[in-house]
């Protein structure tokens, strides 16, 4: 028998494969993963401004427009009519006078931090079940994701211009829920209950549902917008065919901008398809300004709120009778598409590396998809073809009863939420001055956020709870390094 030379070939090939795998593993960890936003990552100080930098890959002209867009994001709108006619039109009902009041230093908002106080950066969506065929049709077509309260509209506004009454406020009380951890440790979670108070127009609809939400952080949103729908759908597993207990599915909504049914990406229930639509929704509902896609000047005043609808508004003929005209929304779009993602801190720390493995081992990565590749990004090609590390699949997941708001929104049920992106999350305290997490800011630490996970994420939570205290600390260190 001749010497089996083919063995040498197999051996060499095997070595080659091992070598490449290690090299690729290394490359991913050391090059791509440390710069989660790809070319839109910044290396500036991890301080209070860490979420406010322009992506370094913007050309100088766009950097200038980014700065002007930032001005609009921070602008304090005033009520009409005002001498500064370009900045009037606030309200009549509003939640805050500027985007930045809620997206604190481009970071997230929070619930009241002291008992008995109100928080501007948290808001409450209002909805009722469809009551007739016309309403059901609007939901089925995806043109509306919820049916507003007939009087109070889609959101409770706690502020109003002079002469118009604010709608009311929300009182928050807490019950405690205990979670047991390995090693006889236990954590007490504060479960919030929400009740409407001081309502200006009497009782709301008897079937009213309240969905509490804090403003999310603003980094890397243009990159998330640039991910192809096919890449998101590839992660969906609505019938859990792989049997891992995780069955992510997209929200589908009608996009006025794309003029078709599209995958929702923005908002805690992924109810908005494009950044431009999300920005104009915010102008309209949160601040009370008209814009090209939402031209009514009265914001969220319902037909039943007659005085509110008749109040003066800030549109002027030279701006198409809009309060926030084309140029304003274009600059806001540029701004919100190009807020850079901070580089990782301490990614090579041994505890962080160990936590990285634990994150995958207990199943966090089943929803918090570590990396994605962006598509062509027409109109913002700086965000095109980037290898990004957002730790989200942009899909909806049933997160269990404890986190449920019982308010469906588009195709999202009352128990479903969009996987929150985790990039930058370790800088929340430095940027926004607090460490409150989840859609309503109920979690007071990253560990509490993990322990609130239920539903499809119950197995991952139990996996976390079963780790030793040292391992839990490593996993949290990893999340802090993102």
Interacting residues toward ligand HEC by CB under 6 A: 73, 95-96, 99, 101-103, 121, 123, 213-216, 221, 246, 266-268, 271, 275, 278-279, 282-283, 286-287, 332, 336, 359, 362-364, 366-368, 397, 399, 403, 417, 419-420, 422, 425, 437-439, 446, 449-450, 453, 456-457, 460, 464, 479
Closer residue to ligand HEC, CB minimum distance, 8 or 402? 402
CB of 2 to ligand HEC, least distance (A): 54
Closer residue to ligand HEC, CB minimum distance, 41 or 336? 336
CB of 337 to ligand HEC, least distance (A): 9
Closer residue to ligand HEC, CB minimum distance, 31 or 182? 182
Closer residue to ligand HEC, CB minimum distance, 42 or 442? 442
CB of 328 to ligand HEC, least distance (A): 9
CB of 9 to ligand HEC, least distance (A): 43
Closer residue to ligand HEC, CB minimum distance, 17 or 469? 469
CB of 20 to ligand HEC, least distance (A): 30
CB of 192 to ligand HEC, least distance (A): 12
Distance CA 474, CA 74 (A): 37
CB of 467 to ligand HEC, least distance (A): 9
Closer residue to ligand HEC, CB minimum distance, 154 or 302? 154
Closer residue to ligand HEC, CB minimum distance, 35 or 268? 268
């Amino acid at each position: 028998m001749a010497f089996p030379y083919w063995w040498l070939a197999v051996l060499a090939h095997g070595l080659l494969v091992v070598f490449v795998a290690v090299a690729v593993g290394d490359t991913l960890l050391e090059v791509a993963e440390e710069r989660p936003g790809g070319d839109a990552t910044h290396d500036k100080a991890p301080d209070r401004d860490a979420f406010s930098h322009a992506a370094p890959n913007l050309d100088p002209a766009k950097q200038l427009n980014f700065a002007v867009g930032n001005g609009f994001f921070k602008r304090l709108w005033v009520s009409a009519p005002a001498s500064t006619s370009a900045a009037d039109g606030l309200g009549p009902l509003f939640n805050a006078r500027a985007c930045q009041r809620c997206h604190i230093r481009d970071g997230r908002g929070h619930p009241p931090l002291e008992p008995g106080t109100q928080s501007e950066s948290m808001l409450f969506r209002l909805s009722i079940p469809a009551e007739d065929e016309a309403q059901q049709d609007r939901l089925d077509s995806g043109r509306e994701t919820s049916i507003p309260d007939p009087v109070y509209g889609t959101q409770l506004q706690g502020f109003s211009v002079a002469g118009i009454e604010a709608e009311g406020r929300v009182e928050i009380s807490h019950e405690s829920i205990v979670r047991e951890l390995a090693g006889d440790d236990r954590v007490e979670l504060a479960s919030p209950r929400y009740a409407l108070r001081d309502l200006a127009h009497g009782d709301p609809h008897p079937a009213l549902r309240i969905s509490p939400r804090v403003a999310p952080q603003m980094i890397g949103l243009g990159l998330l917008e640039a991910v192809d729908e096919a890449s998101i759908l590839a992660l969906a597993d609505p019938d859990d065919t792989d049997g891992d207990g995780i069955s992510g599915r997209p929200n589908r909504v009608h996009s006025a901008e794309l003029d078709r049914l599209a995958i929702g990406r923005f908002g805690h229930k992924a109810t908005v398809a494009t950044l431009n639509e999300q920005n104009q929704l915010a102008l309209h509902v949160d601040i009370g300004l008209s814009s090209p896609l939402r031209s009514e000047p009265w914001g969220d005043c319902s037909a039943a709120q007659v005085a509110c609808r008749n109040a003066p508004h800030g549109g002027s003929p030279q701006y198409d009778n809009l309060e926030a005209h084309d140029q304003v929304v274009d600059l806001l779009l540029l701004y919100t598409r190009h807020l850079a993602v901070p580089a990782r801190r301490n990614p090579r720390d041994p505890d962080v590396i160990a936590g990285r493995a634990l994150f995958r081992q207990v199943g966090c990565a089943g929803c918090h998809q570590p990396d994605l590749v962006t598509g062509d990004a027409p109109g913002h090609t700086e965000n095109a073809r980037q290898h990004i590390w957002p730790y989200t699949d942009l899909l909806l997941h049933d997160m269990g009863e404890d986190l449920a708001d019982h308010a469906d929104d588009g195709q999202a049920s009352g128990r479903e939420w969009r996987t929150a992106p985790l990039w930058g999350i370790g800088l929340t305290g430095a940027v926004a001055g607090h460490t409150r997490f989840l859609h309503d800011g109920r979690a007071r630490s990253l560990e509490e956020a993990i322990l609130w996970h239920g539903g499809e994420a119950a197995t991952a939570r139990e996996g976390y709870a079963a780790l030793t205290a040292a391992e839990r600390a490593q996993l949290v260190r990893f999340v802090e390094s993102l």
